[in-house]
Amino acid sequence: MFVVGGQASRPFVWFPLAGQRHAIDRQDRHVPVGEPMRCLCGVSHPRGGESKAEWLWPTCERCWEEACRVVGGEEAGVKRLG
């Protein structure tokens, strides 16, 4: 699921929400603070304010599993660090 130039053509991006890094619907990445963001794990969380530390939050396991399924993770040799 990759296009020329190394740009990912996947329908999600990673975003910090509710104490974890979630894979959200690409269309939700610009919603205003307080509006819901749809996650691959099936949960919606309101967008919060931004800080530098939130990018260090742990990754949502359910989002990771679904993201790997979407991009063919096991077949592509994707492995989780840690």
Q: Residue 39 class from Cβ within 10 Å (0-12 exposed, 13-18 middle, 19+ buried)? A: buried
Single pTM value for the model:
0.76
What are the residue boundaries of the structural domains of the chain, listed by start?
A: 22-72
CB distance 43 to 28 below 8 Å: no
**16, two tokens:** 């910090």
CB distance 67 to 40 below 8 Å: yes
CA atoms within 13 A on the CB side of 59: 16
Q: What is the pLDDT of residues 14-68, one digit of tens each?
A: 999 999 999 998 888 899 999 999 999 999 999 988 888 888 899 999 999 999 8
